């Protein structure tokens, strides 16, 4: 793994000694279930083979130093801090240290060198990969008693409270709890998981990921606005979260909401939860090709009801479908980022060419495409 040797080399160059170990955590693709996580609903991600690697070694108690191959800047050193004190990329590791300490753990001092192959700003969870690699390393290094199923919430807390991004638990769960060859069916309320076999190659299928390379715009404000709208709708409907609106009760629920925008936000969440459940049922039954229409319906719902897509991802989805994909959708938080398409494995080149041709006819930055397989979750290498 080149990224592992990069992290180790950065550690040696920065700290003049060998790291105690290397810890890797992946980015993710969410197969289906978008913006459902903070509505206590269902998601179905799988981990990418692309990882962030933390090369980590001990430091005196109460001292942490982080450096990254992604920046030319000096390493960042900090002691115990409060939320927001360390900013920029170093805020993520500082947030993990804070969240662990705040939960009562005796976090070991550490020197950390980071290297990553998860594309940043592409909706593939590069921040969760960073958080999860550092968290896994500190837990192992300090022998902390923090079971794997409790780690995503702690990493999410670092992101919500320390960094100040109001995200759900999808990305950290994927990075920490996914397994190779499986998709992770997660109930974001109970945090129960089911590892769903997801070996597409065995069925002659593949997931093509297309990075739209569209510039991410207004992400933070728009994400927060969607979340607020969902929470406000749940309050008006008198339910703890939109997960509690059953599909059969959707028409009644919508009739109780005056605001058309809010109605459409609710319709996306309620129908999306059902699409996750339907996708899981089909995968369990080995009827993988049949999930295609659910993927495409998810995209249409994100485009028209949740309004989180941009022209580049809509064009990529349409081009992939025209090229014969079983289904296609944007994956991740939206406003740019990546599209996934379920295709016959032997149609990867043709689908890629079709998307590139559609982009070439417009003034879009060319896309980047690759076949994604389900890799393992965070681990010591």
Contact set with ligand GAF (CB under 6 A): 30, 34-35, 37-38, 167-168, 170-171, 332-333
Are 134 and 54 a contacting pair, CB within 8 Å?
Answer: yes
Strand partners, 55: 22, 113
- List 6, 37, 40, 171, catalytic entry: 171
Residues 55-71 as b or e (16 or more Cβ within 10 Å = b): bbbebeeeebbbbbbee
Using CA atoms, how far apart are residues 197 and 179, in angstroms rounded to an integer? 9
Instruction: Give least dist CB 237 to ligand GAF, A.
Output: 20
Nearest-approach distance from CB 337 to ligand GAF, in angstroms: 9
User: Is residue 311 within 8 Å of 336, Cβ to Cβ?
Assistant: no
In angstroms, give the least distance from the CB of 130 to ligand GAF. Answer: 13
Rank residues 37 and 117 by Cβ distance to ligand GAF and give the closer one.
37
Cβ-Cβ contacts under 8 Å for 357 (sequence gap 6 or more)? 319
Which residues, 6 or more positions from 287, have their beta carbon under 8 angstroms from its beta carbon? none
171 has catalytic annotation: yes
The CA distance from 195 to 177, in Å, is: 9
Return the number of the residue (6 or 34) whose C-beta is nearest ligand GAF.
34
User: Quick one: 30 or 312, whose CB is closer to ligand GAF?
Assistant: 30
Name the minimum Å distance from CB 145 to ligand GAF: 26
Which of 58, 166 has the CB closer to ligand GAF? 166
* Cross-sheet strand order for the sheet of 76-78: 76-78, 64-68, 110-116, 45-58, 21-30, 379-380
With CA atoms as reference, report the closest residue to 240 among 248, 230, 249, 252.
Answer: 230
Residue nearest to ligand GAF (CB): 333
154: its two tokens: 């702690």
CB of 310 to ligand GAF, least distance (A): 15
Report residue 183 as tokens: 């998709």
Nearest distance from residue 103's CB to ligand GAF, in Å? Answer: 20
Comparison of 67 and 158: residue with beta carbon closer to ligand GAF: 158
How far apart are alpha carbons 294 and 322 in whole angstroms?
Answer: 16
Helix residue spans in the chain (DSSP H) = 2-15, 91-102, 126-142, 151-157, 170-177, 219-237, 250-255, 260-284, 292-304, 311-322, 348-360
Tokens found for residue 186: 């997660």
What CA–CA distance (Å, rounded) separates 231 from 99? 25
Q: What are the distances in angstroms from CA 61 to CA 41, 65, 78, 106, 142?
A: 40, 12, 11, 9, 11
CB of 69 or CB of 274, closer to ligand GAF: 274
Q: How far is the CB of 178 from ligand GAF (least distance, A)?
A: 14
Looking at the chain, the number of H-run helices and the number of E-run strands are: 11, 13
Q: Which is nearer to ligand GAF, 113 or 155 (CB)?
A: 155
Name the residues annotated as catalytic. Answer: 171
């Amino acid at each position: 793994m080149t990224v592992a040797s990069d992290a180790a080399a950065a550690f040696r160059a920065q700290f003049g000694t060998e790291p105690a170990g290397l810890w890797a955590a992946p980015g993710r693709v969410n197969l289906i279930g978008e913006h459902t996580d903070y509505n206590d609903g269902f998601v179905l991600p799988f981990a990418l083979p692309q990882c962030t690697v933390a090369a980590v070694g001990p430091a005196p108690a109460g001292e942490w130093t982080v450096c990254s191959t992604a920046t030319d800047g000096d390493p960042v050193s900090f002691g115990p801090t409060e939320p927001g004190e360390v900013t920029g990329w170093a805020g993520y590791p500082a947030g993990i240290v804070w969240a662990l300490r705040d939960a009562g753990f005796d976090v070991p001092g550490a020197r950390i060198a980071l290297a990553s192959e998860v594309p940043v700003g592409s909706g593939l969870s590069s921040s969760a990969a960073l958080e999860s690699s550092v968290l896994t390393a500190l837990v192992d290094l300090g022998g902390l008693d923090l079971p794997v199923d409790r780690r995503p919430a702690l990493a999410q807390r670092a992101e919500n409270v320390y960094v100040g991004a109001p995200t759900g638990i999808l990305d950290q769960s994927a990075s920490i709890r996914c397994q190779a060859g499986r998709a992770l069916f997660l109930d974001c309320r109970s945090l129960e998981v089911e590892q769903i076999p997801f070996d597409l190659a065995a069925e002659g299928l593949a997931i093509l990921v297309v990075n739209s390379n569209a510039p991410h715009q207004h992400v933070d404000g728009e994400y927060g606005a969607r979340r607020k709208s969902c929470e406000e709708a749940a309050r008006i409907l008198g339910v703890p979260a939109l997960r509690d609106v059953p599909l059969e009760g959707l028409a009644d629920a919508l009739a109780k909401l005056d605001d058309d925008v809010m109605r459409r936000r609710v319709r996306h969440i309620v129908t999306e939860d059902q699409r996750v459940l339907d996708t899981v049922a089909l995968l369990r039954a080995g009827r993988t090709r049949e999930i295609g229409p659910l993927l495409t319906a998810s995209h249409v719902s994100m485009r028209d009801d949740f309004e989180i897509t941009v022209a580049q991802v809509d064009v990529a989805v349409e081009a992939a479908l025209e090229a014969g994909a079983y289904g296609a959708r944007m994956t991740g938080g939206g406003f740019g980022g990546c599209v996934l398409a379920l295709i016959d494995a032997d149609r990867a080149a043709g689908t890629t060419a079709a998307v590139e041709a559609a982009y070439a006819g417009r003034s879009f930055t060319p896309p980047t495409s690759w076949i994604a397989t389900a890799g393992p979750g965070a681990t010591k290498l």
